[in-house]
Amino acid sequence: MAGNPLNAKVVGRLSLYRRLVSGLIRRGTMAVYSHELASHAGVTAAQVRRDLMSIGFTATPSRGYDLTELARTLDRFLDSAAAEATVLIGVGNLGRAILAYFQGQGKLPIIAAFDTDPSKVGRMVHGCPCRPLAELSSVLAERRPRVAILTLPASEAQAIADQLIAGGVRGLVNFAPIPLRVPPGVHLESLDITMFLEKTAYFARLAVAREESHEHEGSR
């Protein structure tokens, strides 16, 4: 059932393929060749073939990959049998946006959100109950969530992460702009939005500079 442990980049692309495949199915497509799926995903055909090879999914040279079968296989790899309980810590603007985005998504239900702010606690936020942070450990003990989303201030992120991991959480998606330290066996995905923006600004500036120097040609 587990198969051989897949590499993180492959899993990311599988998640993307799944979404593309379900879109194609909805449009009535029955099968695709690697280069077709590749062009939708923005990767090479060889990459698609390798990725699908790594989960043991095969095509026929004549028809390509059967989409119904592929969708089922991807579901089996990416989803648990039961839905994976998830918690979210930090009901600020970003936390609320993510709650709104994932409410009613089926798999990965966010079972509770936590915050220290008394004005938020007790309410429903986009369909999710907001509870005081003090109740975190009892929720961890009772509901055994395995995934947590951190949308809280950087100053509190490490302490909360430690508490979550101690309580059994094994996957963290961190939006706080600080590098977290997690023990081996715990998966951490860090999404530092400021960093992505600064990176983008750097390359945008470079591109503009390059274009401008090409315009009046004379340099170099």
Partner DNA sequence: AACTGTGAATGCCTTCACAGCT
Partner DNA sequence: AGCTGTGAAGGCATTCACAGTT
Which residues lie near DNA (CB under 7 A)?
A: 7-10, 33-35, 43-47, 49-50, 52-53, 57-62, 64-65
- Nearest CA among 2, 3, 18 for reference residue 68: 18
Q: If you ran DSSP here, which 8-state letter would residue 6 be given?
A: P
Neighbours of 51 (CB within 10 A): 25
77 binds a second copy (CB under 8 A): yes
Say how far residue 210 (Cα) sits from the centre of its chain: 34
The interface partner of residue 78, options being DNA, a second copy, none and the CB cut-off 5 to 8 Å by kind, is: a second copy
Residue 207 interacting entry, from a second copy, DNA, none, C-beta within 5 to 8 Å by type: a second copy
* Nearest distance, CB of residue 190 and DNA, angstroms: 13
State the nearest-atom distance from the C-beta of 49 to a second copy, in Å. 18
Closer to DNA by CB, 44 or 138: give it: 44
Contacts of 178 (CB under 8 A, 6+ apart): 154, 157, 158
The strands making up 147-150's β-sheet, listed across from edge to edge, are 124-125, 128-132, 110-115, 86-89, 147-150, 171-174, 187-190
Q: Is 166 in the site for a second copy (CB under 8 A)?
A: no
Phi (first) and psi of residue 105, to 5 degrees: -85, 0
Among 35, 53, 201, 212, binds a second copy (CB under 8 A): 201
Measured between alpha carbons, how far is 61 from 44 in angstroms, rounded to an integer?
17
Q: Would you say 134 or 189 has its CB closer to a second copy?
A: 189
Residues 79-118, one symbol each (x = binds a second copy by CB under 8 A, - = not), give xx---x-x-----xxx-xxx-xxx----xx----------
CB of 162 to a second copy, least distance (A): 15
- Give 61 or 104: the residue with its C-beta nearer to DNA: 61
60: its two tokens: 């026929």
3-state secondary structure 25-82: HHCCCCEECHHHHHHHHCCCHHHHHHHHHHCCCCCECCCEEEHHHHHHHHHHHHCCCC
Residue 190 token pair: 């860090």
Residue 2 as a binder of a second copy (CB under 8 A): the answer is yes
Query: What does the binding site for a second copy look like in residue numbers (CB under 8 A)?
Result: 2, 5-6, 8, 11-12, 15-16, 19, 40-42, 77-80, 84, 86, 92-94, 96-98, 100-102, 107-108, 146-147, 149, 169-173, 177, 179-181, 185-187, 189, 191-211
